[in-house]
Amino acid sequence: MLCPTVALLLWQMSKYHDPCQDPPTTLYLVSAKKGGVRYWKVGITTKNNPLERDPKHYKEIFRNEKIQWCADAESIEINVARTFFWVMFKSELEGHALAKPPAREGLSYDFPVEVPMEIFDWWLGLATESDQVPNPDYDLALNNAKYILTDCRYPNGFMTAFHFCWLQMKNGAGFDFGSFVYKNHRSLDRETLGNAFNWMYEPSSPAGARIGTLSDYREYAAHYYELVDFYIPQLQNLLRFRPEEKPVLPSRSPAAMWS
């Protein structure tokens, strides 16, 4: 068993420190060329100049942002890359021929630079402006971070906008606006709402119990569908981009890149 002094030291080391003792992570967008294929590339690095991350293949910097927490930078990078994938996926389904990038964090060069920049800026804005979550471990005496991005729920238990958008983009940002629950959630009973939201209070309840009042579920549904109404159109707007040329090709389904 650890002595109290060592245990306290390990506990303090596990906390978020503000300012972070490590250098900020650079979140970047560059143009790249590999194997004769040009593409746009999102990534993260601890280097100040992203071109130093891969000087052989990286050509020009278009975004270069310092993110204090590495986990936050990774979260933004993943969502930008997912959006790149879905833009290309939908384009190919419609018959567009694309020069596929040799990196899963890449976007085909068939799209102009304004496309990856708009996608990058949207996710960065969501992460840095609209979704700073209070750190449950914040302690003034420890001088650690008051806010973090990577926690998926606010203190009241509601889903954050960033986590909501993370899950939606993971699945292609589709939503059935004609669904019965969405259209009638203000008047539905507890059983119907509980089933619709997978009994969100169950994890903290006794085994097999389904707790949470009708008011709880109506409040949660209202919060969730506010996120739907506000963010689903924005996410779908990010997926509107198509190459300028559309050759006549048979429609096909590319292999999914993200699980």
Measuring CA to CA, how many Å separate 112 from each of 55, 76, 225, 245? 22, 21, 34, 12
Asked whether the predicted pLDDT for residue 174 surpasses 90, the reply is yes
Q: Is the pLDDT of residue 23 over 90?
A: no
The residue from 90, 116, 133 where one domain ends is 133
- Model pLDDT, residue 131: 77
The whole-number pLDDT of residue 204 equals 55
Q: What is the pLDDT of residue 245?
A: 62
Residue 17 pLDDT more than 60? no
Q: What is the pLDDT of residue 5?
A: 44
Tell me which of 106, 133, 160 is where a domain ends. 133
Question: Same domain for 125 and 180?
Answer: no
pLDDT for 206? 56
Cis peptide before 206 (omega within 30 of 0): no
Q: Number of folded domains in the chain? A: 2
Instruction: Decide if pLDDT at 233 tops 70.
Output: yes
The pLDDT, as a whole number, for residue 252 is 42
Domain containing 33 equals: 20-133
Question: pLDDT over 90 for what percent of the chain?
Answer: 62
- In this structure, is residue 191 part of a structural domain? yes
Residue 15 lies in a domain: no
Min mean pLDDT across 60-74, 104-118, 126-140, 144-158 is at 144-158
Residues 84 and 164 both lie in one domain? no
Per the model's pLDDT, the better-predicted residue between 126 and 140 turns out to be: 126
**Whether residues 161 and 111 fall in one domain:** no
Q: Where does the chain show beta strands of DSSP type E?
A: 25-34, 37-45, 58-67, 106-108, 133-134, 147-148
Domain identity same for 124 and 163? no
